[in-house]
Structure 1
């Protein structure tokens, strides 16, 4: 498929409907389509291209280009600007956001991006904050020690109690949930990782707890899923009840199709 053609698919354009959309791009699909990488480069600003060139490894440069293309093309599905025209800035916590004039073109739109291994993932919603995190599982001998440093005490204890063979998957369940929540909050690492935690003892369920002053745990919902066995993914939504979540397989400038992705865990439990 030529990278020069306009992106098509069975997702409509225009303002996004209520709910959350989860867009998943696979690096292998990008690599397999002639001309896509060059087309992605053409969408980026000079600063974005320079940032990509600073990566030492080709895989990192490819993830960067795919991430920028995914954000720009999905924004153009919902707003009147072409992909090249979107401009971004960082807030005081360093979180990327649309520049004011571009944000006015997609009122109320919240978006968040994550990438790891073979996946680039974008979450979008209108009227509610969203955070998403995907990680490639890496089995490390020091996971309990890392959890003691980076997790709340409740999470570190629960991980240490597991059989060694089960620790890597559970560690990244916790890690993706914590990252997704921090990203949805938008406060960066000013939020202590020990001030909130996730109880994953019940299969299929997520119980969110927090010691943060003035923060109501019931005002947040979560969904954990696995696009493939190597990549756990977590979605955090600023809503007391899980809204409709639509999932799309998206290769920027090549095609988009609806996909079914079963939940591994949810909060509130369903």
Structure 2
């Protein structure tokens, strides 16, 4: 697996109840219970579909059945495949979009729906250089740049494996004409970034070691994902 795989699924419909029941049963009991506890239907559907996408990526890449997937979480809560599979994965969801990344080395992915930026959050969560860069962006483009930075930073902490134990203001990411740069004292620094345009109302960023990124996101229809995943049960 030399190329990083990046997938995107847009939620467009309610799944057939019988199919949804079968999909839920394919997930671990604790995940099923979590999904059933969601108050909002949209949150439950996003969570279920994100897990289905991760399992689909793993099954397809390793040529295994869903029942053969064994996961554990690291001390910081990041799910990892058990055993020496040479396969790392990550997922994210926001609004209508579910995205996933799979790589031979550590990777992180984040998607966010663009909305009005909270400059107080930016001031307290971004590094000083990032906040200064954001302030220089014209007001009509500030929301886009805020979520550029947010998704890039989230993809980095997820790829690092340390999650939110890494303070968001402890490293700085800059978007420049020459590319995306990272300034950090963290151990995890041998990584690269790539952003994809899947929807004008969203920002999508991926961080991975090595950085052998595909040119485009592989888009899968919602129903097609469910049907294809059923082949691995």
Same fold (TM over 0.5): yes
Describe how 1:61-210 pairs up with structure 2 within 5 A: 61-98=44-81, 100=82, 103-104=83-84, 107-126=85-104, 128-140=105-117, 143-202=118-177, 205-210=179-184
Tell me the SS of whatever aligns to 1:168: helix
In 1, are the aligned partners of 2:194 and 2:213 still within 8 Å (CA)? no
Q: How has the CA–CA distance of structure 1 residues 153 and 40 changed in structure 2, closer, same or farther, with 3 Å as cutoff?
A: same
Higher-helix-fraction structure: 2
Describe how 1:203-222 pairs up with structure 2 within 5 A: 205-210=179-184, 212=185, 216=189, 219-222=190-193
Describe how 1:16-55 pairs up with structure 2 within 5 A: 17-28=1-12, 31=14, 35-55=18-38
Q: Deviations over 1:160-184 (max 9, x none)?
A: 2222221111000000000001011
Q: Deviations over 1:30-61 (max 9, x none)?
A: 53667542332131122111000111100000
Q: How has the CA–CA distance of structure 1 residues 215 and 38 changed in structure 2, closer, same or farther, with 3 Å as cutoff?
A: closer
TM-score w.r.t. the length of structure 1 is: 0.76
Distance 2:77 2:9 in 1: 24
2:227 is equivalent to residue 254 of structure 1: yes
In 1, are the aligned partners of 2:49 and 2:98 still within 8 Å (CA)? yes
Distance 1:57 1:87 in 2: 29
Tell me the SS of whatever aligns to 1:92: coil
Distance 2:152 2:187 in 1: 20
Distance 1:213 1:112 in 2: 20
Tell me the SS of whatever aligns to 2:197: strand
- RMSD between aligned residues: 2.2
Post-superposition offset of 1:82? 1.6
Tell me the SS of whatever aligns to 2:38: coil
User: Which consecutive residues of structure 1, in runs of 5 or more, have no partner in the other structure?
Assistant: 1-16, 257-270
Tell me the SS of whatever aligns to 1:138: coil
In 1, are the aligned partners of 2:198 and 2:217 still within 8 Å (CA)? no
TM-score w.r.t. the length of structure 2 is: 0.87
Post-superposition offset of 1:228? 0.2
Distance 1:79 1:35 in 2: 28
User: Which consecutive residues of structure 2, in runs of 5 or more, have no partner in the other structure?
Assistant: none
Q: Where does residue 212 of structure 2 map in the other structure?
A: 243
Count the aligned residue pairs: 225
